[in-house]
Chains A and B, each alone.
Chain A
Amino acid sequence: MPKIVLGAIFVVLAAISFWDGYRIMTTLRRPGVYDGLGPDRYLLVIAAMMLLLGVALAVQGAREYRQRTPQAANDQASNRHLWLLATICGYAFLIWFLGYAAATLAFFIAALWIMGQRNWRWNLPSAIALTVAYYFMFEYAADISLPQGVFG
């Protein structure tokens, strides 16, 4: 089943690439501007390869799906990763909105909690220490300007 989905994604990406390649070819290609292959035809060639591979993946996926053997569900798996993913997405938004310091502190507190560290007396100082350590490491040692947020 996953290969069928991947094949479908390849077909969609190929369709978008065909559209963009065709757009460049019809609107931007002028004699002498591009080389023979050009950015447009090159993209069309890659799109054709994506399309072929997408179809091949879907066909192979369908064949494997028909020949599959039922597997027992994995009871051990948790949904911790989904919470973690939500936290990462929230962090990406907060770092833009609140800036590095507040967002990173909140991120570490949440991430440590989700990963199973439930001791607040340990989590809070750890989150502060990590936020400060990363700040010095990136802002000072590596001379990278970290986000200030909309209030910065």
Chain B
Amino acid sequence: MTEFGLIDGLANALTFANLGYALIGCILGMLVGILPGLGPASAMAILLPTAMYLPPAGAIIIMAGIYYGAMYAGSTTAILMNIPGEVASVVTAIDGFQMTRQGRAGEALAIAAIGSFIAGVLGTLAIAWLGPALAELALQFGPPEYFGLVLFSLTALISFSGRSLLLGIAMGVLGIWLATIGNDPLSGTQRMTFGNIQMMKGIDIIPLTVGLFGIGEVLFNARSEMKRIFMGRLPRWYQMFPRGKQLVRGLTASLRGTATGAVMGLLPGMVPALTTYLAYDVERKVSRHRDELGKGAIEGVAAPEAANNATAMSGFIPLLSLGIPTSPALAIVLSTLVLNGLQPGPTLFTQHADLAFTVIASMVISNGILLVMSLPLIGVWARISLIPYSILGPIVLGICIIGAYAPRNTLFDVGVAILFGVVGYIMRRLDWPMAPLILGFLMGRLFEESLRQSLSISDGSIAIFFSRPIPAACIAAAVLVTVVMLYVKWRSRTVSGLIAKSANEL
């Protein structure tokens, strides 16, 4: 029944009109993804009124196309210029930009596209076959389970700490502290606002990200009088694609990233920005080439990009089968469904099976469109690394400043971006890790909400975290991972210390 539904849906999705809707959605999504400051949710919200004039399937196909088009294209600027077009591309920028500096921009862009495509196709199959069953499992997650999961996710701070564990943890806590500024998520109490109206909304992730990464990077390169991002000669476009061992490494990392992103994407609040961190952390732990991560490893691009797209895709499972949106962008898709008189939930697959499977099949089509649109353009995009930095720098700064202003139309955010630009420049100069700060900031609200809600349920007793299997397992895993990683770090430091000592003796 299910197989027939998907094939039937594929035939519907391949009609001229639906292909057109998918193409429009992908193009709009790519534009949104490249521009920092404009997230898929805002773009979809802007287009929501037009959804009423389209057939239900067309409206949802366009919205879904924007969503994963943006998810894919956010990596382009992250790889080429170290400006994450979407917050989900922050992690991609770490290795992606290093690859660009080594003249491997084409390889990075290609594996990002291929990884996204793999995640998209596998994610679609998961939606079609496992959707309702997986969604019911995710429903068992309450605040204590979330707290356990967030706590476990925070162990990634150790991986992202770089040379100094203390510095990494400090940056993570600074991120959590920054997330406390503004209205408290549960009671609305103002914290650290000092009566300032702009501060009440808190610090937005976009100015924080474009400041730390974009403005900080340009200031750093201006100081070192960088001539171009890549000084050598680029290969021809067809030679830019990963081959041989690099391709195998990229594909296996894509599969791991897909698994991480798909499972985590089922949970509300686990937005792509968070699952990309987890996917990168998995690479740090299991990849054979973990030593190359952070220096331009193909796994550092493939895994987060696949996780990013897999999360975006698997978010459709609870949405379509239970009517639960797991991210703001999916809430807009839910609105589109409701506007068209459709009620998401188990009945969607029985009463409107044609529509449900047409939309699901169109996801494969859209991912194919994104791949076809991206690969031929890789040669063009990669040439950005050859533009003189005296021209590229001001272009990047302009995008960063207007991009910081865009989400909330306030110059306060421009000020925040400049402030964090200076912070990013200092951190870049001192080689301090930026990723833990962003991770702490992203996790901060979820950490506070889940902790306080759990303690409210248990009247303040922390026993709630140990009496339920999922949080107890997560906490045990967090402790185990922390102990093992600290031991590994300590041993590697001891070994490197001994090597340095013996070198001095020679």
Contacts and interface: CB of A to CB of B under 8 A. Distances in A.
A141 B28 CA distance: 9
A120 interface: no
Contacts of B459: 36
Interface string A108-127: 10011011110000000010
A55 to B, nearest CB: 11
Interface of A: 2-3, 6, 10, 13, 16-17, 20-21, 24, 28, 33-40, 42-43, 46, 49-50, 53, 56-57, 60, 76-81, 84-85, 88-89, 91-92, 95-96, 104, 107-108, 111-112, 114-117, 126, 130, 134, 137-138, 141-147
Nearest to A118: B390
A38 B46 contact: no
Contacts of A42: 180, 448, 451-452
Interface stretch (B251-259, B351-359, B410-418): B410-418
A10 B170 contact: yes
B224 A116 contact: no
Given A17-B192, A34-B189, A115-B394, 13 more contacts: A13-B177, A17-B177, A36-B459, A39-B187, A43-B191, A43-B192, A46-B173, A56-B170, A88-B401, A88-B418, A92-B411, A111-B398, A146-B405
A7 to B, nearest CB: 9
Given A36-B455, A37-B451, A130 B222 contact: no
B401 A91 contact: yes
B414 A92 contact: yes
B208 interface: no
Interface in B132-159: none
Closest 8 CB pairs of A and B: A111-B394, A39-B184, A115-B390, A81-B223, A36-B460, A35-B456, A116-B390, A81-B222
A81 B425 CA distance: 9
Nearest to A103: B401
Contact of B189 (A28, A49, A89, A143): A28
Of B46, B173, B451, most buried by chain A (CB within 10 Å of CB) is B173
B223 A78 contact: yes
A13 B180 CA distance: 12
B35 A137 contact: yes
A137 B164 CA distance: 41
Interface of B: 31-32, 35, 37-38, 43, 46, 164, 166-167, 169-170, 173-174, 176-177, 180, 184, 186-187, 189, 191-192, 215, 218-220, 222-225, 389-391, 393-395, 397-399, 401-402, 405-406, 409, 411, 414-415, 418, 421-422, 425-426, 430, 448, 451-453, 455-456, 459-460
Contact of A84 (B164, B218, B411, B460): B218
A46 B219 contact: no
14 contacts: A28-B189, A36-B459, A49-B173, A76-B224, A77-B223, A78-B222, A81-B219, A84-B397, A96-B411, A111-B397, A112-B391, A112-B394, A115-B389, A116-B390
Contacts of A53: 166, 169-170, 173
A25 to B, nearest CB: 11
A142 B38 contact: yes
A138 B225 contact: no
Nearest to B448: A42
Contacts of A147: 405, 411
Contacts of A95: 401, 405, 411, 414
A50 B399 CA distance: 33
B165 to A, nearest CB: 10
A141 B31 contact: yes
Contacts of B398: 104, 107-108, 111, 130, 134
A143 B169 CA distance: 39
B224 A77 contact: yes
Given A46-B173, A95-B414, A76 B191 contact: no
Contact of A37 (B173, B397, B452): B452
Nearest to B393: A115
Of A28, A80, A95, A108, most buried by chain B (CB within 10 Å of CB) is A80
Of B43, B170, B177, B186, most buried by chain A (CB within 10 Å of CB) is B170
Contacts of B460: 36-37
Contacts of A17: 177, 180, 192
A49 B172 CA distance: 11
A85 B218 CA distance: 10
A47 B453 CA distance: 20
B409 to A, nearest CB: 6
B391 A126 contact: yes
Contacts of B187: 33-35, 38-39
B158 to A, nearest CB: 15
A111 B452 CA distance: 47
Contact of B397 (A40, A78, A88): A88
Contacts of A143: 46
A81 B393 CA distance: 11
Nearest to A5: B426
Contacts of B415: 92
A134 B402 contact: yes
Contacts of A33: 187
A134 B425 CA distance: 25
Given A81-B223, A92-B414, A6 B170 contact: yes
Contacts of B405: 95, 144, 146-147
Given A85-B422, A142-B43, A24 B191 contact: yes
Contact of B401 (A10, A92, A145): A92
Nearest to B176: A46
